[in-house]
Amino acid sequence: MHSGTFGGYFPLELNLSEQHYYPTARGYRSARSALYHLLTEKKPQRLWLPRLICQSVIEAVKAARVEIAWYTLDEALFPQLPAVLAESDFVLFVDYMGHCQPQKEKLMRLYPAGRIIFDHSQSFYNAPEPVFATVYSPRKFFGVADGGLLVTQDAMPLPASQDRDSFTRMTHLLLQHEYGTRAGYEDFQHAETALEDIEASGMSALTEKLLLSVNYQKIKAVRQRNYMFLRQQLASINASPFCADDIAGPFCYPLYFTGKKLRPRLIEQGIFVASYWQEVLSHVSEKSVEADYVNYMVPLPCDQRYEIADLKVMCQRVLDVIADK
Ligand SMILES: Cc1ncc(COP(=O)(O)O)c(C=O)c1O
């Protein structure tokens, strides 16, 4: 159904499919907005959060006025939790870079599924589990400005408002086509800052249509191919135990390298690797699993933008940085 007017100019051409990738998911402005709405509606008394987490999740939980209990991770990235959860406790666990299927299964064996929230912000292609809720943040995988998904069996009302400002946060997506990634970086940062206000807000119509136009299967296959190529090329320098070969549409290729600080050198070489969750360092000990992860885990891109020929260039630059060439 269109807007009731006829003629005039055309909108952006999109190739809408009939159905979303997760048809039962509710759409929000961001993953944090989805989590905030869930928590304000369900009002758990206390939520166990990993120390290794994005600040925006912490802000959403605080804004929902839910008490936080912190847990650390062991070497296998498994939560160090009490054997039995208190009556009204819930646990949130992040599927880190999509590599935590075994950890999620163990958690579901040990704790009541109805009190577990999985954060799939870094694992878009991992389907929701039969737990209380799963949240997704599609823009970590696709070129959209915002958007969050919530999957839960529980009844939830619609969010009170709906985002209609997505179009004001899209400059970087457009600039990138014309002028490349560096040109859009400042706008990208503005767009991210604009998502900091936490409220329960539904997904914009624009983002919804963009997400309906994504070729999910193709992107999944390209990501898998690229990940496998990087895995083969860089295995000898990668100390990460989290490099399984069966990751669905991977978020990135996680390169764990403690020899030197790779990130600034890679950025100099035009490899824009994100630096996740620096704030975590002020809450954990220097030698912890969490600090090592923040300091040394480098998320190399393996996404749909790249052909194998591009990745060969990237691998060579990574190897040159490591060899100090
Ligand atoms: C693990 C994790 N969960 C949730 C979020 C928040 O997602 P959004 O920016 O869509 O609110 C982030 C943000 O980067 C994240 O890294």
Give residue-wise pLDDT tens across range 256-268.
998 888 999 999 9
Whether residue 122 contacts residue 138, with contact meaning beta carbons closer than 8 Å, is answered with no
Which residue's CA is minimally distant from atom 12 of ligand 1? 54
Which residue's CA is minimally distant from atom 14 of ligand 1? 54
| Span 58-68, pLDDT tens digits | 999 999 999 99
| Span 236-247, pLDDT tens digits | 999 888 888 889
Which atom, in ligand 1's list, is nearest to the CA of 32? 11
Which residue's CA is minimally distant from atom 16 of ligand 1? 54
Half-sphere exposure of 276 (CA within 13 A, CB side): 22
Using CA atoms, how far apart are residues 118 and 53, in angstroms rounded to an integer?
Answer: 12
56 Cα–ligand 1 center, Å:
6
**3-class DSSP assignment, residue 5:** coil
30 Cα–ligand 1 center, Å:
8
- Among residues 212, 214, 205, 201, the alpha carbon closest in space to that of 28 is found at 201
Bridge partners (DSSP) listed for residue 134: 118, 151
DSSP codes of every residue in 191-227: HHHTT-S---EEPPHHHHHHHHT--HHHHHHHHHHHH
pLDDT band at residue 200 using 50, 70 and 90 as cut-offs: very high
- Among residues 225, 241, 220, the alpha carbon closest in space to that of 102 is found at 241
Is pLDDT above 60 for 227?
yes
Query: Ligand 1 within 6 A of 144 CB?
Result: no
| Ordered structural domains, the chain, with CATH | 26-212 (3.40.640), 216-322 (3.90.1150.10)
5 Cα–ligand 1 center, Å:
38
Which atom, in ligand 1's list, is nearest to the CA of 277? 16
Whether residue 134 contacts residue 126, with contact meaning beta carbons closer than 8 Å, is answered with no
Cα→Cα distances 140→197, 274, 294, Å: 19, 11, 18
**Mean pLDDT calculated for residue range 16-33:** 97
- Among residues 291, 300, 295, the alpha carbon closest in space to that of 319 is found at 300
pLDDT band at residue 1 using 50, 70 and 90 as cut-offs: low
Query: Ligand 1 within 6 A of 57 CB?
Result: yes
316 Cα–ligand 1 center, Å:
31
94: phi then psi, degrees, rounded to nearest 5: -95, 130
Indicate the top mutation candidate among 28, 29, 56 to test ligand 1's pocket, ranked by most ligand atoms within 8 A of CB.
56
The pLDDT value given to residue 4: 85
What separation, in Å, do the N-terminal and C-terminal C-alpha atoms of the chain show?
59
Half-sphere exposure of 305 (CA within 13 A, CB side): 13
Query: Ligand 1 within 6 A of 134 CB?
Result: no
Using CA atoms, how far apart are residues 94 and 88, in angstroms rounded to an integer?
Answer: 20
Average pLDDT of the chain is: 95
Whether residue 60 contacts residue 225, with contact meaning beta carbons closer than 8 Å, is answered with no
DSSP codes of every residue in 61-86: HHHTT-EEEEE-B-TTS-B---SS--
Which atom, in ligand 1's list, is nearest to the CA of 147? 10
| Span 81-114, pLDDT tens digits | 999 999 889 999 999 999 999 999 999 999 999 9
Query: Ligand 1 within 6 A of 148 CB?
Result: yes
Query: Ligand 1 within 6 A of 95 CB?
Result: no
